[in-house]
Amino acid sequence: MIVTLTPNPSLDRALDVERLEVGEVNRAVAAHVHAGGKGINVSRALVRHGVPSIAVLPVGGTDGARLVTLLAEHDVPAVAVPVDGDTRSNLTLVERDGTTTKVNAPGPVLSAAERDALLDAVEQQLTAGADTVVGAGSLPVGAGADLYVRLARVAARHGVPVVLDTSGAPFVAAVRAGGLELVKPNDDELAELVGHRLDTVGDVVDAARQVIAAGTRTVLVSLGAHGALLVRAEGTWWAGGDPLVPLSTVGAGDSTLAGYLAADGDPADRLRRAVAWGRAAVLLPGTAAPAPSDIHLDDVRVVTDPDTRVALKEL
Ligand SMILES: Nc1ncnc2c1ncn2[C@@H]1O[C@H](COP(=O)(O)OP(=O)(O)O)[C@@H](O)[C@H]1O
Ligand SMILES: O=P(O)(O)OC[C@H]1O[C@](O)(COP(=O)(O)O)[C@@H](O)[C@@H]1O
């Protein structure tokens, strides 16, 4: 059982527009509403593939209640921790050519008691036998930039591996504290972490090795249309396929992570599956999670020890 923690979930709203005219009245051709937030999306994709997962999330207000209903409609097990503030709603505008504009709301302010209740809810799942913890997404104000460090400590007490997908200060804090099984930044998030641009495969590998040196076992770096790189002390793998015109990129990174976690195996197979799940997600509207029939493993190429001189945009 994989337990996910989404400290700042969202009722994701997506509007499809022909072409976005900033500063004008735009009319959408379609609207989508999904339960969102990074850990929730990981759980949704796993459950759609028959992999047991449970999502822990804070819930408040009417959007929070709707989010919980949506999870139940998709048979995604969830522990909803009640909070005083209102669950946020994030907005995505997708243009016909796939250009995606996201506006993420800050979310409610959590109290220390609410933060502790979230960690307690995760710990209950560990006590009940969960074997992996995923902490994912931004942190709401009040949670403290060290929430994922606390999560890693809880998991360590139970001997359970921790997987993280976050950015900014919480990412820096968690990487510095170490003891992580896997992190899944995209290339921009990894560049922000190391404090410089990443232009080539070698730049990404070097940055990932810094993360590994600080105490993380595996770094999975998603590269948008250019696939993903998997870096471990013992080797590097790249996987990707032909570029796709996205219907919505929202949730593609989360599906990638879910694909990696869905089954054990050798690194190349896990990376192929991760990239195939991410590619499937971009061809679905809003934050829809891919189903087994959406996954095309044969469209993904895997290269072991890719040439470090190649520019990311040429992958
Ligand atoms: N335009 C695209 N064409 C093909 N695959 C894509 C495209 N955009 C994203 N993907 C797939 O989705 C994965 C995750 O996308 P990415 O944008 O890196 O994640 P995040 O949402 O975390 O920033 C990529 O590794 C890739 O497999
Ligand atoms: O917690 P953050 O960083 O604000 O991101 C939350 C948003 O990211 C998503 O989880 C999608 O993430 P990805 O596109 O990176 O897979 C949305 O469902 C959600 O609205």
249-270 average pLDDT score: 97
User: Which of 33, 90, 101 most suits a substitution to test ligand 2, by most atoms within 8 Å of the C-beta?
Assistant: 90
CA 310, distance to chain mean position in Å, is: 26
Contact by Cβ (8 Å): 187, 205: no
Looking at residue 216, what is its pLDDT? 98
Cross-strand pairs, 15: 31, 93
Ligand 1, CB cutoff 6 Å, lining residues: 186, 222-225, 227-228, 243-244, 246, 249, 252-253, 256, 275, 278-279, 282
Number of domains in the chain: 1
Residue 12 confidence (pLDDT) above 90:
yes
Paired tokens of 163: 């997987």
DSSP state of 86: P
Would you call 117 exposed, middle or buried from its count of C-beta atoms within 10 A (0-12, 13-18, 19+)?
middle
- Strand-pair category, 100-103 with 132-136: unpaired
* Minimum CA distance residue for ligand 1 atom 14: 253
User: How far does the chain reach from its first CA to its final CA, in angstroms?
Assistant: 35
pLDDT tens digits, one per residue of 282-299: 999 999 999 999 999 999
Closest CA to 140 of 65, 195, 85, 61: 85
pLDDT tens digits, one per residue of 167-222: 999 999 999 999 999 999 999 999 999 999 999 999 999 999 999 999 999 999 99
**Cα–Cα–Cα angle for 63, 154, 68, nearest 5°?**
15
* Structural domain of 90: 2-314
93-122 average pLDDT score: 95
Contact by Cβ (8 Å): 280, 290: yes
ipTM value for the complex = 0.98
Rounded-to-integer distance, Cα 278 and Cα 235, Å:
22
Starting from the edge strand earliest in sequence, which strands make up the sheet with 91-95, in order? Answer: 30-36, 10-17, 91-95, 100-103
pLDDT tens digits, one per residue of 109-159: 999 999 999 999 999 999 999 999 999 999 999 999 999 999 999 999 999
Alpha carbon of 269 to ligand 1 centroid (Å): 18
* Minimum CA distance residue for ligand 2 atom 12: 251
Alpha carbon of 309 to ligand 2 centroid (Å): 31
* pTM of the predicted model over 0.95: yes
The number of the ligand nearest the C-alpha atom of 204 reads: 1
CATH of residue 292's domain is: 3.40.1190.20
Q: Is the dihedral of CA 118, 123, 126, 131 positive or negative?
A: positive
Report which residue type is found at 37.
Answer: G
pLDDT tens digits, one per residue of 50-66: 999 999 999 999 999 99
Looking at residue 98, what is its pLDDT? 85
Q: What does the CA dihedral 28, 281, 288, 64 come to, rounded to 10 degrees?
A: -100
